[in-house]
C-alpha cells in the first residue's frame, strides 16, 4: 500500500499510549483475534459500516438502497447483517439521521501528519509524540514504515503498540524509527495464547526476547482480563520469563474494561467475550504487581 493506509481513528491528547501527550493513529487490520478485543473496528483491513442505533429513525431508506440486504429495519429495531454487507457505503449516504457511518478511510502519510503536527507544542512541553496503534500496525507494514520515517524526519518522537507477530527483519527495519515500543503480551503459555487469540505465541516471545537482549526501549503491556488470562499460570510464566534478563523491561497492566461490548453489534457482529465477565478491579491486579516488583521489575497499573 506504500504511502497510503487504512486508518479508523486518530486520537489527539492521548495520555495512555506512551510518554507525555500523544496523538495515537489507529490503523486497521490485525492477525490476532483476542476474545476480549475492544477495538473490533481494527480487526479487518477494509472499511466497515457502523450503526448507532439510538440515532436511527427507522425510515428504511438504508434497506431501499442496499441490494444485498445488509439491513433489517422495523418499527422496533435496526440490525446489520454482517454476512450480507458489501461495505459499499450507499446506506451511509442515504441515512438522513447520521445513524450510519463508514469506519476506516484511506489516508496518506501526509494526511496523517497534518493532524499530528497540530499538537507539536504539547509534545514539546510533555515529552510526547505520535503513537501508531490498531488493530496491529505491522499488518500494514509499508504504511507504518513510511509514516514513521516521515515522522522522524520531522523530529517527532515516536512509539508503536504491537503484538510482535511478524518476522524479526521487519522489527529491525522499524527499530531506528521508534523511540518507544509498547509490546502487548496476552499470555506466556502457547496453548492458552492460541485459545485466547487464535494464534501461537512462539514468534512473539522469540521477538520479545531478542528485543530485550538488544536493549530496545520497550514496555510490556499486559491486558488483564478476569477469568481469561488473569490466572496463576500467566503470572508464573511472567515470573519465569521476565526476571531472567539482566535488565528486565517495565510492565504495564491494562485492566479489562467493558466499553468495547457495544461496538460489536454496532458493526453487525457479536462480542467474543462473555458479557458477564466483569471489568477488572485494580485491587485484584496489585498482588500480581507486587510479585513482579519483588522480582525487580518496574510495574505500573494503567
**Counting runs of H as helices and runs of E as strands, what totals does the chain give?**
11, 13
* Cβ atoms of 171 and 149 closer than 8 Å: no
Residue 115's alpha-carbon distances to 129, 189, 209, 239, in angstroms, are 12, 40, 35, 41
Residue 48's alpha-carbon distances to 4, 81, 92, 105, 154, in angstroms, are 18, 12, 11, 10, 32
Task: Tell me the C-alpha distance between 44 and 41, whole Å.
Answer: 7
Task: Tell me the C-alpha distance between 39 and 261, whole Å.
Answer: 9
Res 217: pLDDT: 98
Lowest mean pLDDT across 151-155, 191-195, 264-268, 294-298: 264-268
Domain positions in the chain are 4-45+105-301, 48-103
The two beta strands, 78-80 and 180-184, are unpaired
Label residue 268 by pLDDT band (50, 70, 90): confident
Residue 291 parent element (H or E): helix 282-294
- Give the pTM: 0.93
DSSP 161-225: EE---S-HHHHHHHGGG-SEEEEE---SSHHHHHHHHSS-SHHHHHHHHHHHHTT--EEEEEEE-
Q: What is the per-residue pLDDT across 67-80, written as a single tens digit (0 to 9) for each?
A: 999 999 998 899 88
154 backbone dihedrals φ, ψ, rounded to 5°: -95, 5
Query: CATH fold of 4-45+105-301, please?
Result: TIM Barrel (3.20.20)
Cell of 204: 512473539
Task: Tell me the C-alpha distance between 79 and 53, whole Å.
Answer: 8
Class of domain 48-103: alpha beta
188 has pLDDT over 60:
yes
251 has pLDDT over 60:
yes
Amino acid at each position: 500500500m506504500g504511502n497510503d493506509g487504512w486508518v479508523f481513528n486518530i486520537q489527539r491528547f492521548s495520555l495512555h499510549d506512551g510518554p507525555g501527550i500523544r496523538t495515537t493513529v489507529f490503523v486497521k487490520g490485525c492477525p490476532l483475534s483476542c476474545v476480549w478485543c475492544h477495538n473490533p473496528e481494527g480487526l479487518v483491513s477494509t472499511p466497515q459500516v457502523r450503526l448507532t442505533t439510538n440515532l436511527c429513525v427507522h425510515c428504511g431508506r438504508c434497506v431501499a438502497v442496499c441490494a444485498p440486504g445488509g439491513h433489517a429495519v422495523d418499527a422496533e429495531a435496526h440490525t446489520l447483517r454482517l454476512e450480507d454487507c458489501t461495505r459499499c457505503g450507499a446506506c451511509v449516504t442515504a441515512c438522513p439521521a447520521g445513524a450510519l457511518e463508514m469506519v476506516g478511510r484511506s489516508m496518506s502519510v501526509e494526511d496523517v501528519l497534518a493532524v499530528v503536527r497540530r499538537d507539536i507544542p504539547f509534545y514539546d512541553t510533555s515529552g510526547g509524540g505520535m503513537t501508531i496503534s490498531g488493530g496491529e500496525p505491522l499488518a500494514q507494514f509499508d504504511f507504518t514504515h513510511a509514516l514513521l520515517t516521515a515522522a522522524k524526519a520531522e523530529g517527532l518522537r515516536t512509539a508503536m503498540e504491537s503484538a510482535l507477530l511478524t518476522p524479526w527483519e521487519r522489527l529491525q527495519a522499524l527499530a531506528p524509527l521508534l523511540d518507544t515500543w509498547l509490546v502487548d503480551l496476552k499470555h506466556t503459555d502457547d496453548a492458552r495464547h492460541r485459545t485466547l487469540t487464535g494464534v501461537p505465541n512462539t514468534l512473539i516471545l522469540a521477538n520479545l526476547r531478542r528485543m530485550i537482549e538488544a536493549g530496545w526501549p520497550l514496555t510490556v503491556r499486559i491486558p488483564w482480563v478476569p477469568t481469561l488470562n488473569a490466572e496463576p499460570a500467566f503470572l508464573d510464566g511472567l515470573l519465569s520469563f521476565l526476571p531472567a534478563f539482566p535488565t528486565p523491561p517495565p510492565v504495564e497492566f491494562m485492566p479489562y474494561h467493558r466499553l468495547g461490548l457495544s461496538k460489536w453489534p454496532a458493526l453487525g457482529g457479536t462480542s467474543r467475550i462473555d458479557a458477564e465477565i466483569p471489568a477488572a478491579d485494580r485491587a485484584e491486579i496489585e498482588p500480581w504487581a507486587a510479585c513482579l516488583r519483588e522480582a525487580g521489575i518496574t510495574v505500573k497499573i494503567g
